[in-house]
Amino acid sequence: MTTATQSHHRETLQRALTAIRERSYWSAYPENLKAYGGEDAPGSQSPADGKAAFDDYLGKPFPLRQSGTDGEVAGERSPYGIALGVTYPHADVDTMLAAATAAIPTWRSAGPDVRAELGLEILHRINARSHEMAQAVMHTSGQAYAMAFQAGGPHAQDRALEAIAYSYAEMTRHAPQATWEKPQGKRPPQRMTKTFTVVPRGVALVIGCNTFPTWNSYPGLFASLVTGNAVVVKPHPGAVLPLAITVAIARDVLADAGFSPDLVQLAAEQPGEGLAKVLALRPEVKVIDYTGSTGFGTWLEQNAHQASVFTEKAGVNPVVIDSTDDYRGMLANLAFSLSLYTGQMCTTPQNLLVPRDGITADGAHKSVDELAADLAAAVDGLLGDDARATALLGAVVNPGVLERLEKAPSYGDVVLASRAVTHPDFPDAVVRTPTVVKVDAANRDTYLQECFGPVSFLVTTGSTAESIDLLRESVRDHGAITAAVYSTDDKVLDATEEAALDAGVALSENLTETVYVNQSAAFSDFHATGANPAANSALTDAAYVASRFRIVQSRRHLPADPPVTP
């Protein structure tokens, strides 16, 4: 790293530290696809560069040399129907954890400034390769290209930087050294010098998910690394490539700076190996970050006692629909939210709570059936053109999603049917539009569990007050990452805000423009809260980083009188 680069990274970190306090709009990494690869962005890949880099991985072993490699793991199949044929090194667990542990003391000694700087350098290099990452994320998660680029690239990088900023703030909130001088009345004061050292917890395990391999993994990865831990990245077997690229870049940066590359290692697993479970119980592993099913998340929380465990699990995201003065805007916004990435987001609304008697829209009454028909029309309009539809929907990530979609009609009245879409470029891709099923609020077993994928419920309730109670209760008992409300009545908004505080879920109110409930902006929106069963922490805040390290102090006397300079 040149001095200019170091100074640039330091400026970026300072700006990020301001951003996490102010929480107004800021981004370090441009989300515009065209901002990369041109003359204004020397060193970054163009879309064609990214495609070429991606193609170069296909059909061969991924270029990652890790100590303790004892085999090869077959890689992913793209949700777009093409075979990737990439293979990954498999590591012996003992060797991997020994290498990670051995790398820690030097990394600890480097201190918060150097670690943060190298975290920023890793992000800088990842950012330059965002088009390559977009291909990798697209062909593992099934996201459409533009979304894979933004969510898998700059947005994930922003979230990583946010985690670095929080970590840096917490590591440096105390003086690293202090002189302590306690008066003793007429006797000389007690005088001591004290040193406070940031000490990492040990090895941190990051367990990636299939749908957002980078966005959901980066905060934990970078927070743990920058606080001094060694990180083992266990990708989802269906989404290895984005994290393999990430790990390779991180190792290069660390090695270039004279640190052990084993501070970041990839733990690709054989089919059925259950490597996450094995790693999660190892005594060396002191921090675990996980995104995925409630079942395994709960298992981690209840069994990995030696570690601080951060989980994001399933939820039933509710939307209270009471009234609106922008019916078109509301329908368009909801249609987009239900369709984006085929509803395969932890933030997609699941339960649309609407009074049986209907709602008020633009001053007029709308029955539930009218609302259902209008919402269906809005989705059909949005997704009418196949090419445009696939750019929004992406592809179905795995057969489980398809199974749930096919089972959906059995739950109630289908008010919006799913249809198959043909992808113009990838004929083997499985692309589906979302479905909406009307159910009565009494059918609790149906809608009070997460139905991950493009299945939402129009839940009819006795009144908006009952809808709000249901929001509170369903989030408190079953979890949610997002919640929303549509109302023209301030009392309804106030009551919904109170319910959201009680249940502990972020609330979006009257979204009728181009901000969607699915989206959380780094440096401003907190993703998840940690206050309901859908996640045991926010990603990212102080509580998310503060227990990834400890402060260890030493103290010794200073002479009672200041020493005389020789």
- Residues forming contacts to a copy of itself in the complex (CB under 8 A) are 20-25, 105, 108, 169-170, 173-175, 178-182, 184, 190, 192, 194, 196-197, 199, 201, 301-302, 305, 497-498, 500-502, 504-515, 521, 524-526, 529-531, 537-538, 541-543, 546-547, 550-557
Q: Which is nearer to a copy of itself, 58 or 542 (CB)?
A: 542
- State in angstroms the smallest separation of the CB of 503 from a copy of itself: 9
Q: Which is nearer to a copy of itself, 245 or 538 (CB)?
A: 538
C-beta separation of 458 from 435 below 8 A: no
Q: Which is nearer to a copy of itself, 132 or 162 (CB)?
A: 162
Q: Which is nearer to a copy of itself, 463 or 553 (CB)?
A: 553
Burial 464-487 (b: 16+ CB within 10 A, else e): bebbbbbbbbbbbebbbbbbbbbb
* Nearest C-alpha neighbor of 396 from the set 206, 184, 238, 229: 238
- State in angstroms the smallest separation of the CB of 441 from a copy of itself: 24
- State in angstroms the smallest separation of the CB of 27 from a copy of itself: 8
Alpha carbon distances (Å) from 275 to 236, 418, 433: 10, 36, 34
Q: Which is nearer to a copy of itself, 183 or 271 (CB)?
A: 183
- Tokens representing 176 are 């690293």
Distance CA 411, CA 228 (A): 49
C-beta separation of 254 from 262 below 8 A: no
- State in angstroms the smallest separation of the CB of 341 from a copy of itself: 20
Residue 385 backbone dihedrals phi, psi, to 5 degrees? -95, 125
Q: Which residue's structure tokens are 């199949």?
A: 77
Q: Which is nearer to a copy of itself, 329 or 358 (CB)?
A: 329
| Beta strand 285-291 pairing with 308-312 | parallel
Estimate to the nearest angstrom the gap between the alpha carbon of 560 and the chain centroid. Answer: 53
- State in angstroms the smallest separation of the CB of 386 from a copy of itself: 27
Q: Which is nearer to a copy of itself, 21 or 60 (CB)?
A: 21
C-beta separation of 42 from 48 below 8 A: no
Q: At what angle do helices 93-128 and 241-256 cross, to 10 degrees?
A: 90
Q: Which is nearer to a copy of itself, 259 or 310 (CB)?
A: 310
CA angle, corner 94, sides to 92 and 99, nearest 5? 95
Tell me the H-state helices in 63-216: 93-128, 130-141, 145-152, 154-171
Taking the CA of residue 109 as centre, how many other CA atoms within 13 Å lie in the half-sphere pointing to its CB? Answer: 7
Q: Which residues pair with 461 in a beta bridge?
A: 355
